[in-house]
Amino acid sequence: MPNFDIVAFCKALGDETRQRILTILQKEGEMCVSDLVDLFNVSQPTISHHLNFLKQANLVTSRREGKQIYYRANQDNITECCGMLFAKLVPVQLDLSQFVEPVEEELVKRET
């Protein structure tokens, strides 16, 4: 993402409703505003506001078909933003061994 703004990315994901919208779009693919409104207990303008916030952060794309606007998660940008956030905040010398079991020990346990 050439214009990556870590603050905008974090603000976009800092709201539970926006997180849910993004998760739904990732699972369901393209959806129009009215379909999303049906899934939430909020008004159409509220959903549109959240979608615009996500769009400004380049996390969703939209297309117009007649009077409907369809939104889709911008998975490439989401992945790139997460990677850049990870690269910025995670120490260079990260020892992941504390988070996973060694594979060799697991194989030895299974054989005995």
pLDDT digits (tens, 9 = 90+) for 33-63: 999 999 998 999 999 999 999 999 999 999 9
Query: Does the structure show a pLDDT above 90 at 80?
Result: no
Q: Give pLDDT, residue 3.
A: 57
Query: Does the structure show a pLDDT above 90 at 90?
Result: no
Q: If we measure between CA atoms, which residue out of 58, 19, 85 comes closest to residue 27? A: 19
Higher pLDDT, 8 or 98: 8
**Residue boundaries of the structural domains of the chain:** 6-111
**Over the stretch 13-31, which tens digit does the pLDDT of each residue have?**
889 999 999 999 999 999 9
Structurally, at CATH architecture level, domain 6-111 sits in: Orthogonal Bundle (1.10)
